[in-house]
Structure 1
């Protein structure tokens, strides 16, 4: 095997009227890992992980509709829901002819990826969940801000959540729970915020905050999929995350016979300060799982 790190290329593919932007690296014939990002970021969050994985795997990281550099024309009249995000990614995997792949799920990438697993259960070879929740036990106090909007969908409740799309909130998702926040490159949260501030994007995010309640309703389906299919799962958690808390990682043990649960001493965007630890653990897990 060559030790030369494969270059990461950026590409766009037409998917159901949407121009899906994605990053890709690695041998086209290698086993595939699909990286699904969270709020409020994009495939950029995986820029460093991609290079760590690409020596052994074909790594693909798309930007979800409403995020990053994926372009959704106004004429498409796209409805921003997690069901539709998952349908778009399912079609993306079909167009790229990805027949078998592991998924790395984080934050919003978790319900997107698990819905994909329900739609294409035979395609999933393994799951790495980094603060990617599928259990009510994993919902931290953060969600207490959003639950009132789920219960009463008024304009006032909706507007009360707009602070979640501000710079201070974006930055705090990177820095909270980290002992060394000064090591996090500022371009991470500045890029996220620049893209969040595009006209109309704030309302897209408010739509998704509301729709997240449907993911919680689907948790039992996600759990039944895990129980029935028993895919290899690594749950590796930033243990100081206040959004998706460690009991969510432990809960995987209730539905899986063999699951590896690990923690790093970080927060929500744990890859920024704990890349080596997460990547090394992930590579050993995938190797042990025969991926």
Structure 2
């Protein structure tokens, strides 16, 4: 069995939880989770990577088992989450690493890469968006309305994303055999979303997501200039980030490996073996 350590580190006065596995001297892979989950989403992937790689999977502040200070105690932005992650990696003496990004992990990871391009050895995007083409408009319509006008009506519409029903939907949509996805996933996430005050944390991040779009041209230039090896392995049935977002990487990352599997947003829950096979093959080629 793979030994996985469950640890905490204090970063800028905040307690961050992270999972760590694999040989300390091996190439490092940093796994960055999305909304509304945590490093819990990587619980089954980590053992499939840790035989050859040093794997670190943190919980963003406000998610999982990391601290979740109230919005009047911490300024929740993607810049702030990226800064915490960067400082955590410094504390862990990680200076070079491959990035795995999913959903919210993408804007955090993009900031890490742009701030220190030489640190990133490879990028794996699993339904982690970087292009306007990736946005599924039906899902993002209430989010965009909230960006344009934060009022009680747009907030009420957006709060639907914090319900058990929508949390469950994020796991099951696009999955042909729903019995493959454990209900533990959405109940786990919903319990943490339901902590007092966490709704306001999530609303702050929904509002701040608008600031990720102006970052895209800089990211595209980085991909072109750095020629960092890139893998996009996506659920083709994702109704949050469409497969067009995966295909678009080919425009800026020559040689990008792109796989569209017959799953949804949380691909690892239904297609773990297929996704892990793509990831392991890519890392072996990219890091050799």
Q: Aligned with 1:160: secondary structure? A: helix
Structure 1's unaligned 5+ residue stretches are none
1:10–1:76 Cα change, 3 Å: farther
State the 1:183 CA deviation.
Answer: 1.6
Instruction: Determine if the alignment matches structure 1 residue 280 to structure 2 residue 277.
Output: yes
1:30-68: CA deviation from partner (whole Å, max 9, x where unpaired): 110000000000000000000000000010100001100
- Total equivalences in the alignment: 287
State the 1:270 CA deviation.
Answer: 0.6
2:15 alignment partner in structure 1: 19
State the 1:259 CA deviation.
Answer: 0.4
Q: TM-score, normalised by structure 1?
A: 0.96
Q: Aligned with 2:15: secondary structure? A: strand
Q: Aligned with 1:289: secondary structure? A: helix
1:74–1:108 Cα change, 3 Å: closer
State the 1:219 CA deviation.
Answer: 1.1
1:99-131: CA deviation from partner (whole Å, max 9, x where unpaired): 110010000000100101111111100000000
Structure 2's unaligned 5+ residue stretches are none
Q: 2:51 aligns with which of 31, 50, 55?
A: 55
Runs of 4+ in 1 over 6 A off after TM superposition: none
Instruction: Determine if the alignment matches structure 1 residue 231 to structure 2 residue 247.
Output: no
Cα separation, 1, equivalents of 2:70 and 2:262: 42
Check the 8 A contact 2:142/2:154 in 1, yes or no: no
Q: 1:135 aligns with which of 118, 128, 131?
A: 131
Check the 8 A contact 1:17/1:76 in 2, yes or no: no
State the 1:73 CA deviation.
Answer: 4.5
1:201–1:116 Cα change, 3 Å: same
1:139–1:74 Cα change, 3 Å: closer
State the 1:76 CA deviation.
Answer: 8.6
Cα separation, 2, equivalents of 1:23 and 1:212: 26
Q: CA RMSD in A?
A: 1.3
State the 1:75 CA deviation.
Answer: 10
Cα separation, 2, equivalents of 1:178 and 1:204: 29
Report 1:149-228 matches (<5 A): 149-228=146-225
Check the 8 A contact 2:236/2:260 in 1, yes or no: yes
Q: 1:125 aligns with which of 96, 121, 127?
A: 121
Cα separation, 2, equivalents of 1:229 and 1:77: 38
